[in-house]
Amino acid sequence: MHVAVLKGGMSAEREVSLTSGGAIEKALLALGHSVVAIDVSANVVDDLLRAKPDAVFNALHGRYGEDGCIQGVLEILKIPYTHSGVLASAVAMDKPMAKVVFEKAGIRVAKGVVAHKDELIAGDVMPRPYVVKPSNEGSSVGVKLVFEKDNFHFTKENWPYGETVLVEQYIAGRELTCAVLDDVALGVTEITIPTGFYDYDNKYTAGGSVHICPAQLPQKIYDEVMAMALAAHRALGCRSLTRSDFRWDEKGDGKIYILETNTQPGMTPMSLSPELAAYAGISFNELVARILKTARLDG
């Protein structure tokens, strides 16, 4: 096949996407495909029409690439593409809307509110500790933890992520993640952080986090995380590969809470989904091949 790899783009996750895209290009070439790499810009339509690909491998992360926007462009151009479609991508990326879907599907979420940023400038909108999140960014971009004694002041200057803010109850406990491929949960990884929390820097800096794969958990908890990840994948209407993140409040109420589902998980050397695939006996090249086989249009 002649495959266009979309990477880079205009989101806060551009650099990670470039790394993911580079790894995918290498795998596709090894699999015998011809590849054209497109660093996505406002000229993406012209670039795609010039490239004339049989399919697109979407390696974009974050806004415009993971939120249904590029998927809509590809639908209009009638070019089959990998990962989830327009609606699933848009809903998963919109954290407040995804929470509504999860709750309707019986998947446990943290208590939270959607507030205007002016409300946070005026003061706390829920009891501390809580987590402040952009409504539609990925990779923990803009996420802030606010604890009881923190000298935290929300200002317009430190919030370039839109008018609304998702504020959620902070769930203490263990950070877990589970990838789903072709409607099958691959396994569970626990993420431990030497310092701070699992923010953007700790995700993509060597030594910033430690992955324990498979997670050393009671079997009941391990199985429940896998079931919740698959339920989230299905509730959102996703296809191909997703990865859902969780907190297990081991020392509190003992319950597992879903944080979010990523429809375009990272494919870098430090990424969790390829690691979970390898644990399930799927090499990186095979993972890329299986994702490419799912390329299609929504309709």
CB-based contact 136:162 (threshold 8 Å): yes
| Catalytic site residue from 140, 260, 271, 275 | 260
| Res. 205: pLDDT tops 70 | no
Active site includes 204?
A: yes
pLDDT tens per residue, range 41-76: 999 999 999 999 999 999 999 999 999 999 999 999
| Res. 287: pLDDT tops 50 | yes
| Res. 202: pLDDT tops 60 | no
- The owner of tokens 């390898």 is 278
Active site includes 139?
A: yes
Active site includes 243?
A: yes
pLDDT at 86: 98
Active site includes 285?
A: no
pLDDT at 168: 95
32, 49, 176 from 229: Cα distances, Å: 33, 36, 11
Active site includes 17?
A: no
pLDDT at 2: 98
pTM, rounded to two decimals: 0.91
Q: What's the CATH class of domain 2-83?
A: alpha beta
| Res. 80: pLDDT tops 90 | yes
pLDDT at 101: 98
In CATH, what is the architecture of 112-169? Answer: 2-Layer Sandwich (3.30)
- Mean pLDDT on 218-245: 98
Q: How confident is the model at residue 194 (pLDDT cuts 50, 70, 90)?
A: confident
Alpha carbon distance 281, 284 (integer Å): 10
Active site includes 13?
A: yes
pLDDT winner (highest mean) among 164-168, 257-261, 267-271: 257-261
| Domain at 92-108+172-291, CATH homologous superfamily | ATP-grasp fold, B domain (3.30.470.20)
| Catalytic site residue from 13, 67, 190, 224 | 13
Q: Where are the beta strands (DSSP E) in the chain?
A: 2-7, 34-39, 55-58, 112-116, 130-134, 144-146, 164-169, 174-181, 184-192, 210-212, 241-248, 256-262
- Mean pLDDT on 101-124: 94
- Mean pLDDT on 8-34: 96
- The share of the chain scoring above pLDDT 90, in percent, equals 81
Active site includes 66?
A: no
Q: How confident is the model at residue 157 (pLDDT cuts 50, 70, 90)?
A: confident
pLDDT at 195: 62
Strand order in the sheet with 112-116: 112-116, 164-169, 130-134, 144-146
Active site includes 140?
A: no
CB count within 10 Å of CB 106 equals 9
Domain ranges of the chain: 2-83, 92-108+172-291, 112-169
| Catalytic site residue from 262, 271, 273, 275 | 262
- The share of the chain scoring above pLDDT 70, in percent, equals 94
pLDDT at 160: 83
| Res. 139: pLDDT tops 90 | no
